[in-house]
Chains A and B, each alone.
Chain A
Amino acid sequence: MIAARNARNVLIAGLLTFLVLLPVYTGVTGNYFLLTLFTRILILAMAATSLNLILGYGGMVSFGHAAYLGIGGYAIGILASEGVTSGFVQWPVALLVSALVALIVGLLCLRTRGVYFIMITLAFAQMVYYLGAGLARYGGDDGLTIYRRSQFGLLDLSHKTTFYYVCLALLMAAIYFVWRLVNSRFGMVIQGARSNERRMQSIGFPTFRYRLTCFVIAGTMCGLAGALLANHTDFVSPAMMYWTRSGDLIVMVVLGGMASSFGPLIGAVALLVLEEELSGITEYWQIILGPLLLLVVLFARRGIDGLLDPSAFSRSGSELAKGRP
């Protein structure tokens, strides 16, 4: 059991070392493809981390989380195309808009339970998707090219290595923040509401308010990931909030391990590296990925993190809603 726990820690330590040292390797070999791929992985890992907060810890299965990626991204893109390139303006606006949308969506969605919640979050994400596709002034369906990345004074985001480290630092901050949050009193209430909301209410916690706050925090964090993604690709389009992208985020969270701090990062690395590898083997790589997902659901319910750490069963959230809703 202790060996298993160590196996997990070794994996995480190894992964973090790899992530920190990657730019050194790419600097020596000039292999910038790898750096670009991993910048993307870090950004999506951040989005997955924010989803893990509500899905893994809070038991709120949001099937529309990619909407905040799009909102954060579009905030950057629209401001940039209107001539506002200062990051000190762009980023707070991106966060604020994401938070506001999450507040409105959360207010409506959190009234529902179970499968209704899954579907209404999906519907809201589609709504935002169509809104993006309808913005004819900002590219509509074709998307919007960003000609100048966010300006942060001396910090040059268009430098590949600098941008990579910015993403890594923000991701680590996000993981630390979520870890602190879920282990605080607030986090205990959220996790308590996941296990048995009625009981939490009887004890006297206004669970709706707690869950809504949690939902808004997750949306804001995902908006930040969206701002990073827009800067990474220099491009925003409605496709970044299409519903399959929300599905990808759920896959990352579950593949890595729900309700575990580094699970979303592990899941993002695993999924995107797997995609890269499989698409190298065959053009029809999704024919392998699809059944693989089904197998993970059936046999490795607690994800990679769970495989490495079979001891902490109660933390996994796999007990969650096992009975009928």
Chain B
Amino acid sequence: MLYFVEQCLNGVQLGMLLFLLAAGLTLIFGIMDLVNLAHGSLYMIGAYFAATFAALTDSFVLGAVLALLATLVVGMAVEVIAMRRLYGRDHLDHVLGTFGLILFFNELVRLIWGPAGLTLPLPGVLLTAVEVLPGVYYPLYRLVIIVATLMVALLLYIVVMRTRLGMLIRAGASNREMVGALGINIKLLYTFVFGLGAALAGFAGLMQAPILTVQIGMGENILIVAFVVIVIGGIGSIRGAFVASLFVGMVDTIGRAFFPDLLRLIVTKEAAATAAPALSSMLIYLLMAAVLVLRPEGLFPVSSK
């Protein structure tokens, strides 16, 4: 039971991380109609920046803030230099062009930081565990991730639903020509939205950096899971991304933790030990296939297009 609570919290934490990536992806897709494979590169860059700035400033928080700003700047630069030219093109063009960007960023990071990974040590305060339930201890830092991401999600909701900027973003998603005709600088808006998505990815990267090693290619696997999330949630829907993130995070974590035991009830111990690792990493993809068969547009389809 204690183990179960712990795994649930892990699931929520993974879900929150996925949401940060998926929100950016789905925002960029919903508004610019752009498939951005290089989103994972921004996640990686955020983590590298955080590790570097934290080492330079000797402060985790200061490093994180600087990394967030730096990723925002990199994201906006990428938009102005490359992405802007891809709007309105075929999705295949997006896939190819951003695939090229992934190669570029991976190599650039290797050139600057070298092939070895970096680590981002946590400040001592965050290294403790807290008692979430009687007898259940959980690392404080992971709780911080959950709370911080929830706050970001809330902030995102307020910005998109309650501010003038958010109104423009929503308007841009439903009819870009009309927004432009009404005298809004749509180019600037797009650059900002892309930068926002980049900053969210960078935030995910820097929050995850102390748990994992910061290394080249770290963004790629998680990016594909984020794709699974937005496909399940319905591409373009932030609400869908939130629900699907939690769903996928839970299924993946709980699956990995308990699927081997469940399997052992059905087949022999040896067969279960062989099949379980492969099957539990396939679970979320099976889930996605099931969702797409039942609802080809995802759980929360965006109807405005």
Chain A contacts to B: CB under 8 angstroms: 55, 61, 63, 108, 111-116, 118-120, 122-124, 126-127, 130-131, 133-137, 243-244, 247, 250-251, 254, 284-287, 289-294, 296-298, 301, 318, 320-322, 324-325
Residue-wise, chain B 81-110 has the 8 Å CB interface mask toward A (1 for contact) of 010011001111101110111111111101
Contact assessment for B100 and A297 in the assembled complex, using a CB-CB cutoff below 8 Å: yes
Chain B contacts to A: CB under 8 angstroms: 29, 33, 35, 82, 85-86, 89-93, 95-97, 99-108, 110-111, 220, 224, 227-228, 231, 235, 274-275, 277-279, 281-282, 285-286, 288-289, 292-293, 296-298, 305
With A123-B224, A293-B97 already in contact, the answer to whether A287 and B90 are too (CB < 8 A) is: no
Please give, as numbers and ranges, the residues of chain A lying within 8 Å of B107 by CB-CB distance.
Answer: 284-287, 290
Contact assessment for A123 and B278 in the assembled complex, using a CB-CB cutoff below 8 Å: no
A35 to B279, CA, bound (A): 40
Please give, as numbers and ranges, the residues of chain A lying within 8 Å of B278 by CB-CB distance.
Answer: 130-131, 133-135
Contact assessment for A123 and B100 in the assembled complex, using a CB-CB cutoff below 8 Å: no
A143 to B288, CA, bound (A): 27
Contact among A120, A134, A297 with B86 in the assembled complex (CB-CB below 8 Å):
A297
Contact among A61, A111, A123 with B91 in the assembled complex (CB-CB below 8 Å):
A61
Contact assessment for B95 and A61 in the assembled complex, using a CB-CB cutoff below 8 Å: yes
What's the nearest-Cβ distance from chain B to residue A270, in Å? 14
Please give, as numbers and ranges, the residues of chain A lying within 8 Å of B224 by CB-CB distance.
Answer: 122-123, 126, 243
A247 to B35, CA, bound (A): 14
A289 to B90, CA, bound (A): 21
Contact among B90, B97, B288, B298 with A123 in the assembled complex (CB-CB below 8 Å):
B288
Contact assessment for B305 and A287 in the assembled complex, using a CB-CB cutoff below 8 Å: no
Contact assessment for A324 and B100 in the assembled complex, using a CB-CB cutoff below 8 Å: no
Contact assessment for B91 and A289 in the assembled complex, using a CB-CB cutoff below 8 Å: no
With A115-B29, A131-B278 already in contact, the answer to whether A122 and B293 are too (CB < 8 A) is: no
Contact assessment for B103 and A290 in the assembled complex, using a CB-CB cutoff below 8 Å: yes
Please give, as numbers and ranges, the residues of chain B lying within 8 Å of A116 by CB-CB distance.
Answer: 231, 235, 292, 296-298
Contact among A119, A284, A292, A325 with B231 in the assembled complex (CB-CB below 8 Å):
A119
What's the nearest-Cβ distance from chain B to residue A285, in Å? 8
6 A-B residue pairs with CB within 8 Å: A130-B281, A133-B278, A243-B220, A250-B96, A251-B96, A297-B96
Contact assessment for B286 and A127 in the assembled complex, using a CB-CB cutoff below 8 Å: yes
What's the nearest-Cβ distance from chain A to residue B46, in Å? 19
Contact among A244, A250, A290, A294 with B92 in the assembled complex (CB-CB below 8 Å):
A250
A308 to B56, CA, bound (A): 53
Contact assessment for A325 and B91 in the assembled complex, using a CB-CB cutoff below 8 Å: yes
What's the nearest-Cβ distance from chain B to residue A198, in Å? 16
A119 to B108, CA, bound (A): 26
Please give, as numbers and ranges, the residues of chain A lying within 8 Å of B95 by CB-CB distance.
Answer: 61, 63, 118, 247, 250
Please give, as numbers and ranges, the residues of chain B lying within 8 Å of A111 by CB-CB distance.
Answer: 292-293, 296
Contact assessment for A298 and B35 in the assembled complex, using a CB-CB cutoff below 8 Å: no
The total of Cβ contacts below 8 Å across the A-B interface reads: 138
What's the nearest-Cβ distance from chain A to residue B86, in Å? 7
Quick one: closest B residue to A242, CB to CB? Answer: B220
Q: A251-B96, A254-B92, A297-B86 are in contact. List 15 more A-B contacts (CB 8 A).
A: A113-B296, A115-B235, A120-B289, A123-B228, A123-B231, A123-B285, A126-B285, A127-B286, A131-B282, A284-B107, A290-B102, A293-B99, A293-B103, A301-B93, A325-B91
With A124-B285, A293-B97, A294-B101 already in contact, the answer to whether A112 and B110 are too (CB < 8 A) is: no
Please give, as numbers and ranges, the residues of chain B lying within 8 Å of A118 by CB-CB distance.
Answer: 35, 91, 95
Quick one: closest B residue to A107, CB to CB? Answer: B293
With A118-B35, A286-B104 already in contact, the answer to whether A134 and B90 are too (CB < 8 A) is: no
Please give, as numbers and ranges, the residues of chain B lying within 8 Å of A322 by CB-CB distance.
Answer: 89-90
Contact assessment for A136 and B100 in the assembled complex, using a CB-CB cutoff below 8 Å: no
A134 to B92, CA, bound (A): 31
Please give, as numbers and ranges, the residues of chain A lying within 8 Å of B29 by CB-CB distance.
Answer: 115
What's the nearest-Cβ distance from chain B to residue A122, in Å? 7
Please give, as numbers and ranges, the residues of chain B lying within 8 Å of A296 by CB-CB distance.
Answer: 96
With A61-B92, A254-B92 already in contact, the answer to whether A112 and B292 are too (CB < 8 A) is: yes
Please give, as numbers and ranges, the residues of chain A lying within 8 Å of B103 by CB-CB distance.
Answer: 286-287, 289-290, 293
Contact assessment for B227 and A298 in the assembled complex, using a CB-CB cutoff below 8 Å: no
A63 to B297, CA, bound (A): 18
Contact assessment for A247 and B111 in the assembled complex, using a CB-CB cutoff below 8 Å: no
A159 to B11, CA, bound (A): 53
Contact assessment for A108 and B102 in the assembled complex, using a CB-CB cutoff below 8 Å: no
A133 to B278, CA, bound (A): 7
Please give, as numbers and ranges, the residues of chain A lying within 8 Å of B91 by CB-CB distance.
Answer: 61, 114-115, 118, 321, 325
A123 to B296, CA, bound (A): 14
Please give, as numbers and ranges, the residues of chain B lying within 8 Å of A244 by CB-CB distance.
Answer: 220
Please give, as numbers and ranges, the residues of chain B lying within 8 Å of A135 by CB-CB distance.
Answer: 278
Which residue, of B95, B224, B235, has the highest number of chain A Cβ atoms within 10 A?
A: B95
A270 to B275, CA, bound (A): 40
Please give, as numbers and ranges, the residues of chain B lying within 8 Å of A320 by CB-CB distance.
Answer: 90, 92
What's the nearest-Cβ distance from chain B to residue A65, in Å? 12
Please give, as numbers and ranges, the residues of chain B lying within 8 Å of A126 by CB-CB distance.
Answer: 224, 285
What's the nearest-Cβ distance from chain A to residue B94, in Å? 9
Contact assessment for B281 and A134 in the assembled complex, using a CB-CB cutoff below 8 Å: yes
With A115-B35, A126-B285, A298-B97 already in contact, the answer to whether A287 and B86 are too (CB < 8 A) is: no
Please give, as numbers and ranges, the residues of chain B lying within 8 Å of A137 by CB-CB distance.
Answer: 274
